Structure 1
Amino acid sequence: MSDFVKKVYRLHNGVFHSDLGVMTNLWIVKMGPGTENSAVKIGDWIGVKWMSSICDACEPCHTGMDGNCLNGKISGYYTPGTFQQYVIGPANYVTPIPDVINSAAAAPLLYAGVTAYAALRKSNAVAGDFVVILGAGGGLGHLAVQYSERGIGHRVIGIDHSSKKELILNSGAERFISVDATESLSEAVKALTDGLGAHAVIVCIAHQGAYDKALDLLRFGGRVVCVGIPEGDMRPIASATAASITIKELQVVGCTVGTRKEAVEAIGFAARGIMKTHLRIEKLEKLTVVFNEMNTGTLKGRVVIDLSD
């Protein structure tokens, strides 16, 4: 065991569209050598993020972009612990979980929650700005709605299938647009934004069609934040033409996952009761069923896997 690791017991594990359930709420049961002066101790509640460890030595780490660490280890790929009760994590990179957040609710926040919050920060939108969230009824999207509307003060327009309208509005969206009952999303968005379009669009859904429409929903100087990654052959964004980007001075940025600082901030919103995860809890044997729901797009909110005995 290295100088920076400890053993933690896992109660609940979130399930995510990447087929990774690596964000979790755990408590520490053993500290490794060299962690005597660590900020965390045995018995503390902590979370292990999608990026489970970083080197703290490369340029991304030194410039506040530790989520892009050149030597980082991704939970479930390079480190064991996904969907099991015990996992080893670095004492300097786990995220403290306040006692007011229960285990199941915390599990999705350290991937979906942090990513949603980081994407909103990258949007450059400020309080009062119009923000469109594509895929607003999904596990990541409904958290983005809450962080955006309730946490930051954006005016959120949630876009998704009509079956997810109630979840989206209950999450705090000011307006809802149904993709299956709207002929022109761009005209619908303009009608709700003084005829100009949104200041920012967050693409939470892993669907090429959503990206192809994203830039058409922006006003001048707007920004699209890419989060969901479509499967299959990679294709360019249809609406990202040189003319539209240049004339309207648009921007397109990506967001893989949040940083150490953003994880603490994202958890803080939940601790203050500003937002909560819409979730259901399943046992590990139901994991295949959950993945099938993801593949068919019928899953609402998040599913958390109960790993307790």
Structure 2
Amino acid sequence: MGLEDLPKKMKAVQVVEFDKPYQINEVDVPTKLQPTDLLVKVAVASNCHTDGMVQHGVFGSKLPQTASHEGAGTVVAVGGDEAANRGFKVGDRVMCGLPLHPCGKCHDCQGPENQTQYCMNLDPGHVGVHTDGCFAEYVKVDSRSTTALPDEVSFLSAAPLACAGRTIWRGMLQANLLPGEWLAIVGSGGGLGHLGIQFAKALGLKVIGVDARDEGLSLTKENGADIIIDARKGKEAAVKDVHAATDNMGADATLCISDAQSAAGLGCAVTKMHGLMVQIAQPDNVEIPFAELIFRDIRIHGSLICSADESKSMLQCIAEHGVTVKTNAFHGLEKIHDLVDMVHGGKIQGKAVIIVDEEQIEHEKKLGAKF
């Protein structure tokens, strides 16, 4: 099958006006590919907190904007030799990349490899943020940031892993802990958090899960956190409980994935002196009491999504250790409004996804996809 054999039109869920509901429109299939591009037939697409930011106009996206930067599916066209030389071919199952067309010339593009995803000269930008995304039947992605799926990893898991998984995995790598050390996760019962617990356990870490919702605390327990902290009891109580479990030291490192106003400060407070707090959540302002920085020497490190090699290592970890993604699946792009209602209802556990192509889901079962 070539590009000429593909449909000319497809359904897509789009932002057509900021702060207004999504619309389902008929749009052109993106068949104009550059040599590094892949055209992917979407199997599953996932909702992320960032999608709400796109809807609110935070990134100044050009409208109409097809939503979702978390997608997985099957390659149906390869743009040219640059993509083919990276090992991609028609029929490959992939986790879609987010950055589309990095410049290849800036300091970050030149390496080290685990900084390449920071290119500030993307043209047109990030899939689902600045250019059309995965809530569609087809999506154009860049082979330099797209990752082939092991047979063991399902589309249903791979879609939310495209951003949520990549993000929490890189935070874990930035923490740079050894087996047996303590990792705290503030926001442990959400889409990123429940993955972070499983990744940490797979790496031999001990986990302190911190959340402020009954649903989040339940999911934290379900995924195997060693210590569970209810943030609603306040900072002092949280610090006391963490110190009781860690010989009065605190967590060796902490990942903050909650955008609550007090989350970053709490993340620092439960971290041991001279320890690292990795800020992943994106509130308008990260608020940290000066005493954590000055008197306790807490180091703050921001983190984004994975690079290409880091993404491969994440999928390898999943294939080996059986990390699973908690998903709430909706069938068909027409269910987008039901998905949004669930996400905004405040009761969701894990990630909300849309199965775009049921046929691909059935096909991968024959491959033994189980995670």
TM-score (norm. length: structure 1)? 0.91
Any unmatched runs of 5+ in structure 2? 1-32, 52-66, 359-371
SS in 2 for 1:61: coil
Is 1:137 the counterpart of 2:183? The answer is no
Q: Report the AA paired with residue 168 of structure 2.
A: A
Of residues 200, 208, 217, the one that matches 1:157 is 208
Q: Cα distance, 1:38 vs. partner? A: 4.1
RMSD: 2.0
Structure number, greater radius of gyration: 2
Q: How far, CA to CA, are the matches of 2:313 and 2:221 in structure 1? A: 24
Is 1:56 the counterpart of 2:104? The answer is yes
Match of residue 134 from structure 2: 82
Match of residue 298 from structure 1: 347
Of residues 255, 268, 277, the one that matches 2:325 is 277
- List per-residue Cα deviations over 1:254-297 (Å, max 9, x = no partner): 11211111111111112224311011211333333433443453
The answer to whether the 8 Å contact 1:17/1:294 transfers is no
Q: Report the AA paired with residue 237 of structure 1.
A: E
Q: How far, CA to CA, are the matches of 2:322 and 2:275 in structure 1? A: 27
SS in 1 for 2:109: helix
Q: Matched residues, percent identical? A: 25
Q: Report the AA paired with residue 270 of structure 1.
A: I
Q: How far, CA to CA, are the matches of 1:18 and 1:114 in structure 2? A: 14
User: 1:245-260 alignment to 2 at 5 Å?
Assistant: 245-260=293-308
SS in 1 for 2:210: strand
Of residues 119, 139, 161, the one that matches 1:69 is 119
Of residues 28, 31, 37, the one that matches 2:75 is 28
Q: Cα distance, 1:29 vs. partner? A: 1.1
The runs of at least 4 aligned residues of structure 1 exceeding 4 Å deviation read none
SS in 2 for 1:18: helix
Q: Report the AA paired with residue 135 of structure 2.
A: F
Match of residue 238 from structure 1: 288
- List per-residue Cα deviations over 1:133-173 (Å, max 9, x = no partner): 011010011001111122x2111010112333332122121
The answer to whether the 8 Å contact 1:207/1:229 transfers is no
SS in 2 for 1:285: helix
Any unmatched runs of 5+ in structure 1? none
Q: How far, CA to CA, are the matches of 1:103 and 1:36 in structure 2? A: 22
Of residues 145, 159, 166, the one that matches 2:218 is 166
The answer to whether the 8 Å contact 1:162/1:180 transfers is no
Q: Report the AA paired with residue 250 of structure 1.
A: I
Tell which deviates more after alignment, 113-122 or 161-170: 161-170
What is the total number of aligned residue pairs between the two structures? 303
Q: Cα distance, 1:37 vs. partner? A: 3.6
Is 1:91 the counterpart of 2:138? The answer is no
SS in 2 for 1:144: helix
Q: How far, CA to CA, are the matches of 1:132 and 1:36 in structure 2? A: 41
Q: Report the AA paired with residue 117 of structure 2.
A: G
The answer to whether the 8 Å contact 2:71/2:134 transfers is no
Q: Report the AA paired with residue 173 of structure 1.
A: A
Q: Report the AA paired with residue 247 of structure 2.
A: D
Q: Report the AA paired with residue 205 of structure 2.
A: H
- List per-residue Cα deviations over 1:107-157 (Å, max 9, x = no partner): 11111111101001112322211111011010011001111122x211101
Distance 1:49 1:208, change over 3 A: farther
Q: Cα distance, 1:236 vs. partner? A: 4.5
Match of residue 126 from structure 1: 178
Is 1:210 the counterpart of 2:263? The answer is yes
